[in-house]
Chain A
Amino acid sequence: MIKISKLIHDYIQRDEEGNPSGTIRAINDISLDVEPGQFIAILGHNGSGKSTLAKHLNALLFPTEGAVWVNGLDTKDQSLLWEIRQTAGMVFQNPDNQIIGQVVEEDVGFGPENMGVPTEKIWERVEESLKTVGMYEYRKKSPNRLSGGQKQRVSIAGVIAMHPKCIIMDEPTAMLDPSGRADVINAAMKLNREEGITIILITHYMEEAIRADRVFVMDEGKIAMQGTPREVFSQVEKMQAIHLDVPQVTLLGHLLREKGLDIPEGILTREELAQALRRQCGCRITAERK
């Protein structure tokens, strides 16, 4: 679906007269492959290069060196620009910056209309997209009367209406409250599991990465760690060294292990922790209950 080969990206710094005065290397030699239908999470602190990477995936930025292919399309080829952006849709952090329509359904129809989809097909797509994200009943509302989480789901519907093969979400939940966050992540999971759309989720919230097929951790423009969520989160010290959290349940398992309990590293859910603890001392508890 996405192939990145030896990608380097330099931002050009300019002095007061606007002349180039230097460069900052935001991405330093990254190669990775994303298979169709995968759910990918990219983690990293501010300035680690993750948003710069995301912007390469739908040709908002172009490689300084190396190359990026989206569904086999080279992003450097200007003639493929529209095809690339229809293949890989993007959802940004601030919902207020991405909604333009006066009415929810008009906003969602904007993308397909721009692509030249016939009118009745547009309405079909709008209906199906809004139903997918659970916002169909709000189709006649004004977007500025919606909550942050609802707006963000409308943004996602606007992307789905273009029938992309891949959606890149750049911290879509950073500005939302807990229920808004859960709604957005559930909508993303549903698109991935039911529609087979490849999802690339960039986030600060480690819990959101637990259900990903694969996690990439970025630090200083490089991929510092990668693997399944379990492989990545079982390295608690390494994550902390690059100033990232692990999910609290993983950390709790880690602390109990340090205190001498036989708990495996990389616990991802509360149920797993309960199970591990039961294995550790289950006989004692049953004995006590009798």
Chain B
Amino acid sequence: MGLSLEKVSYVYEQGTAMETAALKDVSLEIPDNQFIGLIGHTGSGKSTLVQLLNGLLRPSSGSVLYNGKDIHADGFDKKALRANVGLVFQYPEHQLFEVDVLSDVMYGPRNLGLDEAVCKKRAVQALENVGISEKYFKTSPFDLSGGQKRRAAIAGVLAMNPKVLILDEPTAGLDPRGRDEILGLISEMKKKLSMTIILVSHSMDDVARYVERIVVMGHGEKVFDDSPKNVFRHYTELEELGLSAPQITYIMNTLRESGFDVETDALTVEEAAEEIMRRISKSSR
């Protein structure tokens, strides 16, 4: 089951002089328990897509289905949808507001009308999953460090027990260490909670290492939808879309062009090093 888009188009300010088509005829299947990277340049339609997925926007044409049911049909429970499809916005720490960390994370489950004890249990669990220890529960969220704030904000969405978690640029503004921490955390969560995670990013270097599938958006259309290795083969087309392949793809292609018979589909520096060693020992035999 899961989410799917069927021939969805979305037009901003329809019927006015400012009319702009943000999405054109996009179809997409998002099954359960998959780790997906959603990539696109600024203005490619990826944020519009994300807002369509949890019903914040209504398609101009086409339909969005959750477990086979149209989410905009009469009688569809949108509240349940938003609990099941969690969205972590860019700079989520700007949305922290409660007096202490625990209450902030409990805000979501409370809104679902759950029992106080259940809310607390879920919040504690969510905070544990993002690696925030009990000693911070009663701290004001504003006294946390930058990386902790972001993790607390993610916990707030996680406490809704979503089946699909969408994270919009979760590493924006972080240094290399903060970036590795957050991406490592998300990847752990994926394994532990077997949920579908959609990582929205414009950095191929960030997603290459983690995701199993990449959807590339360009000018409102779905351009590629494949495994990372297959998507990065199109690195020249990616550049035309204002994107770039991971640095390692360029390195391997340069080596190949200068006469080394290496495969160019390594996703990490470690894989690349192994590939080069393999070729070198082969040719020396």
CA distance A12 to B42 in the complex (A): 39
User: Any chain B CB within 8 A of the CB of A177?
Assistant: yes
Residues of A within 8 A of B270 (CB): 255
Nearest chain A residue, comparing its CB with the CB of B283: A284
Contact A256 to B284, CB < 8 A, known contacts A179-B242, A285-B260: no
Residue among B173, B248, B261 with max Cβ neighbours from chain A (10 Å) = B173
Binary interface profile of B, 243-256, with partner A (CB < 8 Å = 1, else 0)?
Answer: 11011101100110
**One of B41, B243, B251, B261 near A273 (C-beta < 8 A):** B251
Residues of B within 8 A of A207 (CB): 247
User: Any chain A CB within 8 A of the CB of B276?
Assistant: yes
Give the secondary structure class of B's interface: helix
Q: Which of B6-14, B79-87, B155-163, B175-183 contacts A (4 or more CB under 8 A)?
A: B175-183
**A174 with B247: CB separation less than 8 A:** no
Residues of A within 8 A of B255 (CB): 270, 273-274, 277
Interface size on A, residues (CB 8 A): 39
Residue among A177, A248, A271 with max Cβ neighbours from chain B (10 Å) = A177
**B269 with A248: CB separation less than 8 A:** yes
In residues 128-179 of chain A, which contact B (Cβ within 8 Å)?
147-149, 174-179
**A256 with B283: CB separation less than 8 A:** no
User: Any chain A CB within 8 A of the CB of B43?
Assistant: yes
Residues of A within 8 A of B175 (CB): 45-46, 204, 243-244
**B254 with A271: CB separation less than 8 A:** yes
CA distance A180 to B260 in the complex (A): 32
Contact A252 to B42, CB < 8 A, known contacts A259-B273, A285-B259: no
**One of B172, B176, B273 near A45 (C-beta < 8 A):** B176
CA distance A278 to B255 in the complex (A): 9
Residues of B within 8 A of A88 (CB): none
CA distance A251 to B272 in the complex (A): 11
**A178 with B254: CB separation less than 8 A:** no
User: Any chain A CB within 8 A of the CB of B258?
Assistant: yes
User: Any chain A CB within 8 A of the CB of B31?
Assistant: no
In residues 199-245 of chain B, which contact A (Cβ within 8 Å)?
202-203, 205, 242-244
**B251 with A278: CB separation less than 8 A:** no
Nearest chain B residue, comparing its CB with the CB of A150: B42
**A251 with B243: CB separation less than 8 A:** no
**B178 with A46: CB separation less than 8 A:** yes
**B242 with A255: CB separation less than 8 A:** no
Number of contact residues on B: which range applies?
A: 35 or more
Residues of B within 8 A of A174 (CB): 172-173
Nearest chain B residue, comparing its CB with the CB of A287: B283
**A148 with B42: CB separation less than 8 A:** yes
User: Any chain B CB within 8 A of the CB of A224?
Assistant: no
User: Any chain A CB within 8 A of the CB of B28?
Assistant: no
Nearest chain A residue, comparing its CB with the CB of B180: A243
Residues of B within 8 A of A105 (CB): none
In residues 257-280 of chain A, which contact B (Cβ within 8 Å)?
259, 261, 270-271, 273-274, 277-278, 280
**A248 with B172: CB separation less than 8 A:** no
Residues of B within 8 A of A107 (CB): none
Nearest chain B residue, comparing its CB with the CB of A251: B269
User: Any chain A CB within 8 A of the CB of B99?
Assistant: no
**One of A245, A256, A277 near B176 (C-beta < 8 A):** A245
User: Any chain A CB within 8 A of the CB of B280?
Assistant: yes
**A175 with B173: CB separation less than 8 A:** yes
Nearest chain A residue, comparing its CB with the CB of B258: A274
**One of B259, B260, B277 near A256 (C-beta < 8 A):** B277
Residues of B within 8 A of A285 (CB): 259-261, 283
| A positions within 8 Å CB-CB of B | 45-46, 93, 147-149, 174-180, 204, 207, 243-245, 247-249, 251-252, 255-256, 259, 261, 270-271, 273-274, 277-278, 280-281, 284-285, 288-289
| B positions within 8 Å CB-CB of A | 41-43, 146, 172-178, 202-203, 205, 242-244, 246-248, 250-251, 254-255, 258-261, 269-270, 272-273, 276-277, 280, 283-284
5 residue pairs, one from A and one from B, having the closest CB atoms: A270-B254, A243-B177, A179-B242, A255-B273, A177-B202
Q: A207-B247, A273-B255 are in contact. List 20 more A-B contacts (CB 8 A).
A: A46-B177, A93-B173, A174-B172, A177-B202, A177-B243, A178-B243, A179-B243, A180-B42, A204-B175, A252-B273, A256-B273, A271-B254, A273-B254, A277-B255, A278-B258, A281-B280, A281-B284, A284-B284, A285-B261, A288-B283
